Amino acid sequence: MKELQKIGVVGGGLIGMSWASLFLARGMTVIVVEPRPEAEIQLRQFVAEAWPKLQALGLTISDTVRQAEVTNDFSRLAGIEFVQESGPDRIEIKRELIRQLEQIIDPEVVVASSSSSLLASDIQSGAQHPGRILIGHPMNPPHLVPMVELVAGEQTSAESLQTAEAFYRRMQRVTIRVQKEVIGHLANRLTSALYREAVHLAAEGIASVADIDKAITYGPGMRWALLGPHLTYHLGGGAGGYQAYLDHLGPTQEARWQDHGSPRLTEEVKALLVAGLEKELEGQNEETLSLRRDDALVELYKLKQKYGF
């Protein structure tokens, strides 16, 4: 399989800039298509800040900070070998981006969409070459969080899926193949289920926003960074493992499932959540929040590698 070298990133927002930083770190030639005039300056700043973290992870192949070409001209993507589409997550925009791409790029070039919720089948509807379109969904920020979900649409070819998976693995990403299309794919559905209960608990006055966050980060979140829910409960079953856990403690899980909330994001609930968040932020430096998160992600990734998780 050909090693891809020239990468197009369509969309220069937060996700697109993060993708571009990763691709540059892995020695790719990167062209970013973004209409905003300030995009080039923002990308250069983003890449410069990302570079030390990528170096700490061993992802850079050069000490020199690489730069991407930033343009609003789709014709600059002629000869590109892979496209990471990261435009706004609205189906009409995705289809328009595909339409413009297909006027320029070769028919065999894979187009992977970063869409967090849309279905590949809907994005590829009406495309000239729908077989090359799929979902390649990261978690934010993609240059530091290694997971990429691959989801094929109804018309996605097996070859396109293989090409995308090989490319992401070359970028040192951890790939997951989602077997069936579903809104939100896999990771976002899991996080959404947790967030729904977090909103319910705050809305019902069961716990503060800050304490809900602490409950996750100092409780299950510490285990989940190392083991997923199934492996966690396997260890919770003791000598009998997962089967013992399900047999003995499964009923308590079912009881909690029945009692989980279904909150609505009313104006009142939104105000309560925002007020709770602002109170939580009183004890920290908000200006450094994302930087501290990114530094911690680097150390967490290195820790997982050290212990084989």
Whether residues 241 and 303 share a domain: the answer is yes
What's the whole-number mean pLDDT along residues 261-290?
95
Q: Are 26 and 51 in contact (CB under 8 A)?
A: no
Q: Give the C-alpha separation, 147 to 68, whole Å.
A: 23
H/E stretch holding 11 = none
Confidence band, pLDDT 50/70/90 cuts, at residue 270: very high
The last residue of one of the domains, among 178, 200, 224, is 178
Name the amino acid, one letter, at 187: A
Name the amino acid, one letter, at 143: H
Crossing angle of helices 267-281 and 209-217, in 10° steps, is: 60
pLDDT at 217 (0 to 100): 97
Whether residues 283 and 222 share a domain: the answer is yes
- In the sheet that holds 133-138, the strands lie side by side as 69-71, 29-33, 6-10, 82-85, 110-113, 133-138, 147-152, 174-178
Count of CB atoms situated within 10 Å of the CB of 86: 29
User: Is 1 part of any domain?
Assistant: no
User: Is 230 part of any domain?
Assistant: yes
Digit-coded pLDDT (tens) for 44-92: 999 999 999 999 999 999 999 999 999 999 999 999 999 999 999 999 9
Whether residues 134 and 198 share a domain: the answer is no
Whether residues 224 and 286 share a domain: the answer is yes
The last residue of one of the domains, among 118, 149, 178, is 178
Whether residues 128 and 149 share a domain: the answer is yes
CATH number at residue 295: 1.10.1040.10
Whether residues 88 and 131 share a domain: the answer is yes
Q: How many domains does the chain have?
A: 2
Whether residues 198 and 115 share a domain: the answer is no
Q: Give the C-alpha separation, 157 to 258, whole Å.
A: 40
pLDDT at 196 (0 to 100): 98
Whether residues 215 and 135 share a domain: the answer is no
pTM: 0.94
Q: What DSSP line would sit under 87-129, residue for residue?
A: --S-HHHHHHHHHHHHTTS-TT-EEEE--SS--HHHHTTT-SS
b/e code 55-84 from CB counts within 10 Å (16+ = b): eebebbeeeebbebebbeebebbeebbbbb
Confidence band, pLDDT 50/70/90 cuts, at residue 283: confident
Q: Domain residues for 87?
A: 6-178
Q: Are 173 and 200 in contact (CB under 8 A)?
A: no
User: Is 171 part of any domain?
Assistant: yes
What is the overall mean pLDDT for the chain?
A: 96
Digit-coded pLDDT (tens) for 290-299: 999 999 999 9
Residue 1 pLDDT greater than 80, yes or no: no
Whether residues 102 and 51 share a domain: the answer is yes
Whether residues 39 and 118 share a domain: the answer is yes
Whether residues 170 and 192 share a domain: the answer is no
Whether residues 161 and 192 share a domain: the answer is no
Q: Give the C-alpha separation, 268 to 161, whole Å.
A: 44
Residues 137, 138, 143, CA angle at the centre, nearest 5°? 145
Counting Cβ atoms within 10 Å, is residue 207 exposed (0-12), middle (13-18) or buried (19+)?
middle
Digit-coded pLDDT (tens) for 249-267: 999 999 999 999 999 999 9
CATH number at residue 82: 3.40.50.720
The last residue of one of the domains, among 134, 150, 178, is 178
